[in-house]
A = this chain, B = another copy of it.
């Protein structure tokens, strides 16, 4: 099953021409999960290779304006598109109150919102994985999220099954699903005889805004990917401490302590381009990337390779010009039979 994430906004609170404020989309199989929703997120999605999907759920890390201002417009857009499915929105304590404020702005919707307040330590079981909330250190009500996939069944050992005389068909299926079977000759075959060790699923950890924190290290221990903020470089270490943010070096130390496979730095102050943060972090933890907006982080199962950044890119501002764009040419009826939404 595919698992990746798309960085829709990688700036700190003040956006720049190159970086939009915080949002990222996780795609797992057919599921679409949005983490944080800064102003402009719906359009970042439209500009991405994904388009604006019917989200399955939204997860907010905290309620600072630069993480939530895209919600009212996006929720309204879903309504204008006629959404009817309930949309779950998760967040730390205070979610209900914050959404009540936003409701005055977006007004009535065509679908229900299911608001789920999560304390650190809470666990939301979902189909094939769990979402675990963990504490952040940002001075406000805030949680990070770990997506922890269920274990996968071990590999089926065809040679062993042949040797034991397990016939092709339902008997092998039952063994794969953990049930013992009795063969025609009376032999009892147990799943452990033909199925290997269960294999771990993947873990993707999304820490929101936070000073470096042991709780994040604990949540991310052994994770495939840790998305961690790196608002500042070392030149602004003091400011990072005052504002309960992290430097790139802080984040690298968290990644190192947790032993993650890939550290993804985001929430970059407009002071920085990115490469200088990557350099500072890689000195301590080489498996670090500092993506640009629209970059994708692919997370294969461990046996299939390392998580990696794939360069994304936005839709071009202009569609390719065609002859019909030129008003001096005669209009062909139907030649501009329009696109889009």
Report A's interface with B, CB cutoff 8 A.
13-18, 20-21, 39-40, 42-43, 46-47, 65-66, 69-70, 72-73, 76-77, 80-81, 101-102, 104-107, 233, 269-273, 275-276, 278-279, 282, 292-294, 313-319, 324-327, 331, 336, 338-341
Contacts and interface: CB of A to CB of B under 8 A. Distances in A.
A317 B21 CA distance: 14
Identical chains in the assembly = 2
A43 B15 contact: yes
Given A65-B76, A282-B327, 18 more contacts: A13-B80, A16-B340, A17-B46, A17-B314, A17-B315, A18-B315, A40-B40, A40-B43, A65-B106, A69-B69, A69-B73, A102-B105, A104-B104, A269-B341, A270-B340, A270-B341, A292-B318, A293-B317
B73 A39 contact: yes
A242 to B, nearest CB: 14
Nearest to A331: B279
A272 to B, nearest CB: 5
A221 B106 CA distance: 36
B276 A336 contact: yes
A72 to B, nearest CB: 6
A273 B319 contact: yes
Nearest to A66: B73
A273 B40 contact: no
Contacts of A47: 17
B18 A278 contact: no
Given A39-B43, A66-B73, A106-B65, A273 B338 contact: yes
A278 B270 CA distance: 39
A187 to B, nearest CB: 58
B70 A39 contact: yes
A316 to B, nearest CB: 8
Nearest to A76: B65
23 contacts: A14-B341, A15-B42, A15-B43, A15-B46, A15-B77, A18-B315, A39-B40, A39-B43, A39-B69, A65-B106, A66-B76, A69-B69, A69-B72, A101-B104, A233-B338, A270-B341, A271-B338, A272-B336, A276-B336, A279-B331, A279-B336, A282-B327, A292-B317
